[in-house]
Amino acid sequence: MFTKKTVRDIDVRGKRVLLRADYNVSMDERGNITDDYRIQQSLPTVKYLLEQDARLIICSHLGRPKGKVVPSLSLAPVAKRLQELLGKHVEFVPDCVGEQVTKAANTLQPGHVLLLENVRFYPEEEANDEAFAKQLASLADVFVQDAFGVVHHGAVSVSELPKYMPAVAGPLLEKEVDTITSAMENPTRPLMAVVGGAKIADKLDVLHRFIEIADFIAIGGGMANTFLLAEGMHIGASLADKDDLPVAKEILAKAREKAKDGKFVFYLPQDGVVASKIDKAAPTRIADWSAHVIADIENYPKRPPHEASYIREHEMILDIGPFSAAFIAGAMQFAGTVVWNGTMGITEKAGLQGPVGPYAHGTDLLMEAMTGKFGHRPFSLVGGGDTVTYIEERGLADAFNHVSTGGGASLELMAGHKLPGVEALQNK
């Protein structure tokens, strides 16, 4: 149960409301928005505030300008897209503090919207600058935090503003925290975690948490290569982080210990799609290096390599193979809850897109299994990041029970950590 006050717990009618939204959207080289998922997810909050005749001032960031004005990271295209989605004029000012902004905020009429320029154009934002916080706070009467994607960071618009004005949560933030917390603490079992991505270090805490609470963990993506390397497998030129080998071995040992009771499975890919380069036209083949389920296998691998299993020096594992994808998809047919964070192969590189990219077949099969194509439909929670981008490209965000707007924040919450941007808000 969400323990912080939300916008529905206070009176905002006619008041100036400063809404922290997450409009960190994907854009192409021409400044066109290619993925407006986060804008669309903010609409219920925006519409609610406008229905209350609030004078709505929105601040957000876009990209990582590192405290400098970067024209390609302006929020002007976001203002245009938000206006299209709302069907209502959105005023935009090319700054977030200063005389022009103050004038625009003071003359804003009830039920109208003002979007400020990228808050990260100011180095003070990420330096938690007190004076900058006070400048922003002077624009409004109430602060509403609805940017789940940043609440794990410390910044002026995250944890500093609540010190200077009444601060509550928006509906999106409340939904994100409640849904993810419930899936981790009170899931419909069996609980299955599917974890991909490049680096184990990025997801170390959440992997430890899943070993403690999940019934089945499936690993994919680049991090699977590091685990396989830790098990003594030859992976050729595949992406792997040798610095992560000690933690990989630690996680494997912890998983083996839990698996001794026969009620837990930690699954690493048993086959993969390999190629000599990351290219849409590159020849690929399937390498099958034997099933690797920790619950069943203690000493892996011991058999001599042969042509079908051996990864050549110049080859890279770029996706899980068909047997691995089928095994994980099959396990999903018995799951009550599936938490998914990280794709199983390379899905985000330019030039690899298509209905299904050449290294996205594993990810696509798991997506179909999660959304009920094979009969059973578990509760599905997608934890942000590249996974959401892929789902959006496929136009299937609505097919899942919950698709998070925050990658890092969702991982922190799944790991059981406190979120500074949530802790700073008023308690109920």
**Which one of 4, 15, 20, 38 is the catalytic residue?**
38
131's CB contacts (< 8 A; 6+ apart) are 124
Asked if residue 196 and residue 112 are part of one domain, the reply reads no
Does a structural domain hold residue 425? no
Asked if residue 164 and residue 192 are part of one domain, the reply reads no
CB atoms within 10 A of CB 53: 15
Q: Give the number of domains in the chain.
A: 2
3-state secondary structure of 267: strand
- Rounded mean pLDDT of the chain? 91
Amino acid letter, 161: L
Asked if residue 66 and residue 202 are part of one domain, the reply reads no
Catalytic residue list contains 38: yes
**Which one of 88, 199, 254, 394 is the catalytic residue?**
199
Report the sign of the C-alpha dihedral through residues 367, 259, 318, 341, in that order: positive
- Domain end call among 119, 151, 173: 173
Asked if residue 157 and residue 115 are part of one domain, the reply reads yes
Does a structural domain hold residue 343? yes
Residue 320: alpha-carbon gap to chain centroid: 21
Residue 212 falls in which region: left (phi positive, over 0), alpha (psi -120 to 50) or beta: alpha
Q: Rounded CA gap, 79 and 142, in Å?
A: 22
**Which one of 63, 67, 111, 408 is the catalytic residue?**
408
Catalytic residue list contains 375: no
Catalytic residue list contains 199: yes
Partnered with residue 114 across adjacent β-strands are: 57, 91
Asked if residue 331 and residue 216 are part of one domain, the reply reads yes
Q: Rounded CA gap, 382 and 397, in Å?
A: 9
Asked if residue 152 and residue 193 are part of one domain, the reply reads no
Q: If pLDDT is split at 50, 70 and 90, which confidence band does 299 have?
A: very low
Domain harbouring 241, CATH code: 3.40.50.1260
CA proximity to 88, closest of 71, 63, 113: 113
- The range of the structural domain enclosing residue 210 comes to 187-414
Tokens of 366: 């798991």
Asked if residue 65 and residue 206 are part of one domain, the reply reads no
pLDDT at 352 over 50: no
| Digit-coded pLDDT (tens) for 22-74 | 999 988 888 899 889 999 999 999 999 999 999 999 999 999 999 999 999 99
| Digit-coded pLDDT (tens) for 72-95 | 999 999 999 999 999 999 999 999
Q: Tell me, what's the pLDDT at 389? A: 82
Q: If pLDDT is split at 50, 70 and 90, which confidence band does 250 have?
A: very high
Asked if residue 123 and residue 203 are part of one domain, the reply reads no
Does a structural domain hold residue 399? yes
Catalytic residue list contains 242: no
DSSP letters for 104-117: HHHHPPTT-EEE--
| Digit-coded pLDDT (tens) for 213-222 | 999 999 999 9
3-state secondary structure of 385: coil
**Which one of 197, 345, 385, 406 is the catalytic residue?**
385
Element (H, E) at 327: helix 322-332
**Contact (CB, 8 A) for 322 and 271:** yes
